[in-house]
Amino acid sequence: MSFIDTLRSRWQEYRRPGYYENFDYAWTMTIDLDSCTGCGACVTACQAENNIPLVGEEELARGREMHWIRIERYWEGEFPNAKLNFIPMLCQHCDAAPCETVCPVSATYHNQDGLNAQVYNRCVGTRSCAVYCPYEVRYFNYYNHEWPSPLDQQLNPDVTVREKGVMEKCTFCIQRIRQAKDAAKDDGRRRVLDGEVQPACVQTCASQAMVFGNRNDSQSEVFKSMNDPRAYHVLEEVNTAPSVVYLKKVEVNG
Amino acid sequence: MSGIDRRDFLKLAGAGGAGAGAGFMMRESTKHPVEHLVPYTSSPEEFSPGIATWYNTVCSMCSSGCGISVRTREGRAKKIEGNPSHPVSQGRLCAHGQAGLQVLYNPDRLTGPMARTADNEDLLPITWDEGISQLATRLGSLQASGQGDSVCFLSEGVDGHLAALYERFMAQLGSSRLVHYDFTHPRTLYSAIEKLFGDSQLPYYDIGNADYVVSFGADYLSTWISPVNHSFGFGSSRKGVNGVRGRFVQIEPRMSVSGASADDWFAANPGTEGMVALAIANHIVNEGGYQGDDRDAWVSALAPYSPASMSQATGLSSSVIIGIAESFLGSQHSLAIGGGSAGNNTNGVDTLVAVNALNYLVGNLGNEGGLILNPEPVVGSGSGTLRATYTDMIELAEAARDGRIQVLILSGTNPVFNLPDAAEFREAIAQIPLVVSLSSFIDETSSLASLVLPSHTYLESWGDSFPEPGVGFSIGSVSQPVVSPLFNTRATGDIIINLAQEIGLSAAFPWSDMEEYLKEGWQQIYARGNTGDGTEGFESFWNDVVRAGVWGETTRGPSPEGLLEGVIESIDVAPPEFSGSSANYPFVFHPYISDTLEDGGAANLPWMQELPDPLTSIVYGSWVELNPLTANELNLEEGDIVEVESPHGRVTAPVFIYPAIMPNVIGMPIGQGHTDYGRYASGRGSNPIQILSPQLETETGDLAWAATRVAINPTGRRVEIVKTGGVSRELGREIIQKVGADGADADGADHAAELSSIPVKVVRS
């Protein structure tokens, strides 16, 4: 077997579809663009849950926004037929994540729940992952951010506060997943039940546009939702196999 | 840690160092893919996540009254979520509700009582005893000398037992000047509902069960009345009501969040929304086969409003109006709502009467997916009658200027910021000998106070809330402290009780604190029955209510038999009047409640400043919205600073080119432009309320804040607008994909299967 063939077969083995079916969980989120109102509650909920720093106006002016989930907006048409479409954009937890293969120190990796996780204390801040990410959902700490007292009292003790020089991103609220697994274990159950864990964004979404759950469980809400005929992946052509599934917006004509 | 030793690690690191591409190939080709790098994100075995304590209480960030659950750890509040058993929030919450933690933990909160020094210069700390006795002495002597009416209590809109406590306190002082002021209060809607149905409360609009919703200017998903509840309804309706995907129509001069989410967005000329509603009604009555007994009355009342004759004034073609009318009539559960700028022109009440009359014409009153009236308020007379109008505020300012006000007690409201400069409210307050503030922050109004007795935030206080509008039946919640007080502050209710006792009103205020007073009040609610089996006594009832965070009765509100007599005959929408001539002021000014900062009250919350505006992605600033054609005509680009000039003043802000605003309308968000209010709010942007003309809504005397004309004067200066959004068009990237309702998308491909999950009924052909 040539080197290239070996490489390809290993690659196939690693990236074979359904890889995570061997495990208990494959966390997945669906976002129904027909229900999303673009209100931004998810953005603030995430900021509160995950100790996301305030970067200030100056940093924002330099494009250093820090929101693990953000609302993107795209206009189409011109007045009076102008339309505005919203799409919440967060880490897609790709099964074939370009950010993972590029990290020189393996600070970003895939865990067996199908999550793309970031090891903060291993990150050396090359920012390669942010360059490779087609969804632009990785955020870099250019500074040590401050929480003027007593704002620091709000910080979530289950989530680390990241330092200068470290890349950070959506974790699907891994601390909540851990908490739910812990509770299941205490209950003597092997698996977390459907609906027991919801990331902060999904929890708060007033228009019920988001569903989160385990796609290995064919009875779960998210399994049903991701098999909706309207389901699609953003930038499907880059073959990242995302764990975030969007449902197409319905357009009524005339 | 197994499976990787130091050597492997160095290999990996070396490969990465040789170049990203090479690193990626080497790593994947030399190692088995399943790795055992164990980061702290999967915690060590011995680590167990902390146990949080959750408290149910009520959100006070706006007047919707959403039930919330607050997660606390080690006595600190960490996260706010909606209370799933609360019928208003249904477990969900908006961005403002989430940001309530930053009210509690705001670094600019007042930490204790203060008084100005004799030379009126600085605020210096005092003790609570000093503060209370200073105020009590003043109030006591005024009350004793029969000048109680020279005391004014100016509060933010509150309801429930706190409002009742305020009323009792002012009555005991002998003052009639209890003023609740809220810029966002939908005064004109109250009047319209009263006119139509004789009901003094807001109705519940059952959006969740409606399949065709026409909104006239009401930004119901973001800033209007109860956004979380409406959004929940919106989501439910979009997922299908009896198998039909809800369809939403928005009619407004500038696209709001609700407009962006609507299926059809139409720009009618500002202030003509009521005429559109009557033209729709005209079509329903004349062509749509309306069969009511009162058809003749409708026909003659609506005769001047045929769709064809209205199209000139409203700017909507008659085919658009007829299309909406037919869909409205043809849908199972149609619903019309109105508010926002449509309710705040000079013809606001008439507009909303016209809009809500549509609900009558399709017979949705009291029905699923329709307009549902609420039962009598559980406590007091409901908030609608308490809130001050602009005219009330002007009278108050006059009284202050004439020296008829000796003491002003402020609590939570900021009229200096929320009233136009033309009201000269700041100057009026400066005439009052003693201004006392109970607010938690120094804002534009409380900065005029010489005595500061700061209150707890809502997360530290006892209170209750009876959401208005309810959800068609009576609900209430007890609000409980979720953390112990951070600073040397006191609950507003406790301050009032304490003051009353100092003045010598102990007979009327026998309670030791707000909690005791609240419990006594809830005894009466307990006595209403309908509280389960009721065998276990009040204490157990009280504990249940506090724990659950919600109390409710199944009794529904009255179902309106019909309209009040004479309504149909008097139905009429006069053309809107604008301040300023169209020659000197060519544009209609459209200030709107900010989606992130509300009416300015949320401007001191850094999360809200940093949350991109949903429609423009702008953060931390003000902007002026121009249609691309208008900008082109005036030779302006994004970031050009312009002066917006009205007959009553000028503000400056950079231009933002907004694709969905009428060419003759200038939009500007309310919320920025604070000169006080802490580090995050002050010195940022400008406040469009300043330049509004004191144009009044004809019936209520409230401010018609959408009735000012402006001119745009370029200044020649430029700034870079700070926003998070990049390219505003998709450029063929197909990021947001769509499927047409007829099963075909733009490329003509057949996607019928994609719609199988949501049957879409296309009403119009």
| CA–CA gap between residue B81 and residue A203 (Å, rounded) | 8
Residues in chain B closer than 8 A to A169 (CB atoms): none
| CA–CA gap between residue B69 and residue B349 (Å, rounded) | 37
Residues in chain B closer than 8 A to A232 (CB atoms): 737
Question: Tens of pLDDT along B57-83?
Answer: 999 999 999 999 999 998 999 999 999
In a domain, B573, yes or no: no
In a domain, B496, yes or no: yes
The verdict on B328 and B365 lying in the same domain is yes
- B221-260 residues touching A, CB cutoff 8 A: 221-222, 227-228, 231-232, 234-236, 238-239, 245, 247, 255, 257-258, 260
Q: Residue B280 pLDDT > 70, yes or no?
A: yes
Question: Tens of pLDDT along A121-135?
Answer: 899 999 999 999 999
Would you state the pLDDT for residue B378? Answer: 86
User: How far away is chain B from the Cα of A166, in angstroms, using its nearest Cα?
Assistant: 14
The CATH number of residue B536's host domain is 3.40.50.740
Domain that includes residue B315, residue range? 187-372
Higher-confidence residue: B288 or B263? B263
The two three-digit tokens of residue A223, written as one number: 């399994």
Q: Residue B765 pLDDT > 80, yes or no?
A: no
In this complex, which of A82, A171, A204 lies closest to B92 when CB atoms are compared?
A204
Q: Residue B29 pLDDT > 60, yes or no?
A: no
Which CB contacts under 8 angstroms, 24+ apart, belong to B366-370? B366/B557, B366/B559, B366/B560, B367/B333, B368/B206, B368/B209, B368/B333, B369/B206, B369/B207, B369/B208, B369/B209, B369/B210, B369/B211, B369/B241, B369/B332, B369/B333, B369/B334, B369/B335, B370/B206, B370/B210, B370/B333, B370/B335
| CA–CA gap between residue B78 and residue B100 (Å, rounded) | 11
**DSSP-derived secondary structure letter, B440:** S
The verdict on B347 and B367 lying in the same domain is yes
The verdict on B291 and B330 lying in the same domain is yes
CA distances, B563 to each of B20, B182, B570 (Å) = 73, 29, 12
Lowest mean pLDDT segment, chosen from B246-250, B552-556, B618-622: B552-556
The verdict on B40 and B66 lying in the same domain is no
- B719 Cβ under 8 Å from any chain A Cβ: no
Three-state helix/strand/coil letters over B526-581: HHCCCCCCCCCCHHHHHHHHHHHCCEEEEEECCCCCCCCCCHHHHCCCCCCCCECC
Residues of chain B with pLDDT > 70, as a percent, come to: 89
User: How far away is chain A from the Cα of B651, in angstroms, using its nearest Cα?
Assistant: 21
Residue with tokens 């702008």: B618
Average pLDDT, stretch A155-164? 92
In a domain, B621, yes or no: yes
Q: Which domains does chain A have, with CATH numbers?
A: 20-247 (3.30.70.20)
Task: Report which of A172, A176, A67 is spatially closest to residue A115, judged by C-alpha positions.
Answer: A172
In a domain, B103, yes or no: no
User: How far away is chain A from the Cα of B234, in angstroms, using its nearest Cα?
Assistant: 6
Lowest mean pLDDT segment, chosen from A245-249, B192-196, B626-630, B758-762: B758-762
Question: Tens of pLDDT along A205-237?
Answer: 999 999 999 999 999 999 999 999 999 999 998
- Phi, psi values for residue B355, rounded to 5°: -65, -50
The CATH number of residue B243's host domain is 3.40.228.10
The verdict on B33 and B64 lying in the same domain is no
Q: Residue B23 pLDDT > 50, yes or no?
A: no
The verdict on B274 and B393 lying in the same domain is no
This prediction has a pTM of 0.92
Would you state the pLDDT for residue B763? Answer: 39
The verdict on B602 and B746 lying in the same domain is no
| Overall domain count for chain B | 6
Count the residues in chain A: 254
Contact between B175 and B148 (Cβ < 8 Å): yes
The two three-digit tokens of residue A176, written as one number: 């909540």
pLDDT band for position B663 (cuts 50, 70, 90): very high
Q: If you count residue pairs, one on A and one on B, with CB atoms under 8 Å apart, how many are there?
A: 326
Q: Cα torsion for B212, B215, B221, B224, to the nearest 10°?
A: -140
Helix-helix angle B6-17:B20-30, to 10 degrees: 140
Contact between B457 and B448 (Cβ < 8 Å): no
Interface confidence, given as ipTM, is 0.94
Task: Report which of B231, B612, B614, B233 is spatially closest to residue A86, judged by C-alpha positions.
Answer: B614
Three-state helix/strand/coil letters over B262-289: CCEEECCCCCCHHHHHHHHHHHHHHCCC
| CA–CA gap between residue A68 and residue A135 (Å, rounded) | 12
In this complex, which of B79, B232, B733 lies closest to A207 when CB atoms are compared?
B232
| CA–CA gap between residue A68 and residue A127 (Å, rounded) | 16
Read out DSSP for B34-68?
------TTS--TT--PPPPEEEEEE--SSTT--EE
The verdict on B762 and B668 lying in the same domain is no
The verdict on B288 and B312 lying in the same domain is yes
In a domain, B107, yes or no: no
pLDDT band for position B135 (cuts 50, 70, 90): very high
The verdict on B304 and B332 lying in the same domain is yes
With CA atoms as reference, the chain A residue closest to B25 would be A7
In a domain, B561, yes or no: no
- A240 Cβ under 8 Å from any chain B Cβ: no
The CATH number of residue B707's host domain is 2.40.40.20
The verdict on B200 and B80 lying in the same domain is no
| CA–CA gap between residue B571 and residue B298 (Å, rounded) | 9
The verdict on B616 and B506 lying in the same domain is no
Contact between B217 and B211 (Cβ < 8 Å): no
The CATH number of residue B88's host domain is 2.20.25.90
In this complex, which of B91, B619, B754 lies closest to A60 when CB atoms are compared?
B619
**B480 class by beta-carbon count within 10 Å (0-12 exposed, 13-18 middle, 19+ buried):** buried
Instruction: For B289-431, list the strands marked E by DSSP.
Output: 334-338, 371-372, 407-411
Q: Who contacts B643 (Cβ-Cβ below 8 Å, separation ≥6)? A: B650, B651, B652, B712, B713, B714, B715
Q: Residue B22 pLDDT > 80, yes or no?
A: no
Q: Residue B677 pLDDT > 70, yes or no?
A: yes
In a domain, B565, yes or no: no
- A47-106 residues touching B, CB cutoff 8 A: 47-49, 54-55, 57, 60-61, 65, 67, 70-80, 82-87, 101-106
Would you state the pLDDT for residue B20? Answer: 44
Would you state the pLDDT for residue A195? Answer: 93
In a domain, B568, yes or no: no
